[in-house]
Structure 1
Amino acid sequence: MDTFGIMTLNENSELEYFTEIAIQAVAQGMICCRFIPSNINPFSHRITGYVFDPTTNQWKQDIFPIPNVIYDRCFYGEDVHSKQCISIVTWLKERQDIFFLGYGLPNKFELYNVLKLSNLHPYLPPTKIISDSNMVMKELTLQERLVLKPINGSQGNGIFYLELKGPSIGVKTFNRNQHIHKSFSDEKKFSTWIDLLLSKKGYLVQPYLELINERMEPFDIRILLQKEFDGNWAERGRGIRSGHPDGILSNLSAGGHISSFEKWRENLSPKLIGFIETEISDLLLKIPSILEEAFLPLFELGIDIGVSRNGSIWILDINSKPGRKVSLTTNPEIKDVLNKAPILYSKTLTSSVNNERKRYNAKTLSY
């Protein structure tokens, strides 16, 4: 009997979603468990975690073998526990007796470099690794407005907006549920601050794109893709994420709100919306195949698309561990499909036809 394992860094994360998945697993004749990578015993290879009990629809703590199918929902930070778990997950992904629903994507710069060499390069904001204040000031002098993003960032954390205002430099960011504004009166003070920031983690720099709606809110289009049971990609939903008028992010974690794509398109001319939808459809067709050609197989993708006022289309971010809130808010009827999808695809992975999956896709492991 196949065992479907859900892997997280926090045993309390996404519990409602995981319980729904477990119910679907039982219906398909599978055992479902959830665990933290660091709870794998390095000697016995047994895990202390939770197994779903179908008689009570509850999770019970137990000790069990490593499951043969794993759904990776780990979100790594810079902390010691994250680094410990990354090494364990690397070991798991190298095992030929384990199937991962998706093997993840690399950091933002590696991803950018792959997409830059494809026919998607016109849709990418120019991106560079930034190492010190001199590089930042050079770019700021040229562009006047910039965005700094952590190379390994997610959920909008650690993003900074920089603006050159004569002799002073303005900074905006979002941290701990607060929109923070700073202003540096001269370049020396700014350089001291930015060098300290860059010493803590790697950052990318991009020109600021004015992607705002009629209410002057930053916004983007979030699209959720998943694989069907047959391995073909399907769009599950799309919606608009909008941020605060004075903010720089549309991310829900930064206080953004959700609206429907259909409502947003009502304000556009038929010609413009026709162009935008054609462009997006083309991107959704190309992105998964380009990524799976370069990296290990994937199961789901959250794709963030920016649209400027003149209709220019930008690929802002691609996430291999997306949330489902936008799709469920704009199309709640999709909930059952989303809950079933991981189990149905896992059944395909473990079939004899797909047992060579990793051998033919032996590329660099990614997160």
Structure 2
Amino acid sequence: MNLKWIEEADSFELHSTKPVLAILTVEDELQLFRGNRSNFADLLQTGKELGFITYVVTTKDLLLNKRRVKGYAYAEDTNTWHQRQFPLPDIIYNRIPYREDEIQPTVRRKLAAIAQHPAIRLFNPKFFDKWSLFEWLKLSKSTQPFIPGTRKLMSAAGLKRMLAKYPYLYLKPIGGKAGMGIMTIRLQPEKPKPYRLRVQAKKKSITYRCSTLSTLWTRIKKQSSGTAYIAQQGIELASFHDRRFDLRALVQKNRLGQWDLTGIGARVAGPNSITTHVPRGGSIEEPEKLLVTAFGSEQARRILVRVKQTALLIAKQIERGSKSTLGEMSMDLGIDVGGNVWFFEANSKPMKFDEPHIRKKSLERIYHYGMYLNKRKRQAQAQEG
């Protein structure tokens, strides 16, 4: 690597009028920084094409009182990352990959300092948790109808009340990710062991049958290992060749700073899985194909329009409820056997969409929204000046 060239590039970039976007993560002793490296490389390449100075930076290296910060650039020809000096960012895109990293006191303090910085715009400041999402969505009459019955899982008595109302339940960890730790319960009163508990393992599920509520509760407590859970009304999802499916919508803000639908994907549950997540054995399919097979072409078209409208409605309400600046989110939406739309989950750190047309647009929209934030920042500075 030509160090003289890097120094010259640094000098040029410090005096450049290009917007500067930094992808925020945390340091890692073994591999410099944490996160999805191929995603970061794609983001940097897209930023370059759209006229940005862009780099990866850790919370430790982001010194907000300096004009220069140490960041990481990607060399495509050698598939390596190298550290160099960059200008302090105008915009920060939070991609800290794990909740346990984001809740560290030093990381929380840095995020709070970024939020207070007059010259930096941060979006997607933290992970969502499932309980907060449902609380926010319940605040609006327009989003209430899409929420399954949901309660915190606190006691055997509370579980009994939920099962009396909904004989089919999903149990989900409040801070869960990619379908980990999910369980289902079906109450089958006619059977000698009326409680059927299914627990999601790596790519299959394990079934336990319990004769009493007390036995069921003991098993759930053992499986949950002290993690906080919600209990949620089970929805009888539409299926494709006897395998349930749901939809993944990616909503992002555009050049005007408005929520827009980037794309919709579909995931079909694995043969022995209780979730549709690909890491748990799910597979990717075309939404139109699944909906037409389940409902016919006319109703499928109406459902897709309703899904798009619902995704945007929910995104706006989540942003209002979170009182944060958000630039993107993915959400899981289910279609029941009657064609009704249900909201299951939203993620403020969306995983990569494998569908190529969605992927390309998703990368570009990060920078489109970055342009909007930078323009707003400059307008605010001009008014103050």
Q: Tell me, yes or no, if structure 1 residue 193 matches structure 2 residue 219.
A: yes
Shift of 1:270: 4.1
**Contact preservation (8 Å) 2:156, 2:214:** no
State the secondary structure of the residue aligned to 1:32.
Answer: strand
Aligned length: 352
* Residues 1-367 of structure 1: pairs in structure 2 closer than 5 A: 1=16, 2-9=19-26, 11=33, 13-38=35-60, 49-52=71-74, 58-62=80-84, 67-77=89-99, 79=100, 82-84=103-105, 85-104=107-126, 106-118=128-140, 119-165=142-188, 166=191, 167-196=193-222, 200-267=226-293, 268-294=295-321, 295-325=323-353, 328-329=354-355, 332-352=356-376, 356=380
CA distance in 2, matches of 1:112, 1:266: 30
**CA distance in structure 2 between the partners assigned to 1:281 and 1:199 by the alignment:** 37
CA drift at 1:334: 4.5
Assess if the C-alpha contact under 8 Å between 2:128 and 2:347 holds in 1: no
Counterparts of 2:341 and 2:74 in 1: how far apart (Å)? 44
CA 1:241–1:354 in 2, change beyond 3 Å: closer, same or farther?
A: farther
Change (3 A) 1:286 1:105: farther
- For structure 1, the 5+ residue unaligned runs are 358-367
Q: Deviations over 1:265-296 (max 9, x none)?
A: 33223442243134223313422332333322
Unaligned 5+ segments in structure 2 are: 1-15
Q: Please tell me the residue identity of whatever aligns with 1:256.
A: G
Cα distance change on mapping 1:218 and 1:62 into 2, 3 Å: same
Instruction: Name the CA distance, whole Å, in 2 between partners of 1:82 and 1:62.
Output: 27
Asked if 2 retains the 8 angstrom alpha-carbon contact of 1:105 and 1:111, the reply is no
Q: CA RMSD in A?
A: 3.2
Contact kept, 8 Å, 1:161 with 1:173, in 2: the verdict is yes
What secondary structure, in the 3-state scheme, does the structure 1 residue paired with 2:124 have? coil
How far did 1:301 drift?
Answer: 2.0
- Give me the identity figure in percent: 24
TM (normalized to structure 1)? 0.83
Larger radius of gyration: 2
Deviates more, 1:305-314 or 1:11-20: 11-20
Structure 2 length as normaliser, TM-score?
0.79
Q: Check whether the contact 2:91–2:370 (CA below 8 A) recurs between aligned residues.
A: yes
Aligned mates of 1:260, 1:196 — CA distance in 2: 38
Equivalent pair of 1:216/1:245 in contact (CA under 8 Å): no
1:356, distance to aligned residue in structure 2 (A): 5.0
Secondary structure of the 1:264 match is: helix
Structure 1 residue matching 2:218: 3-state secondary structure:
helix
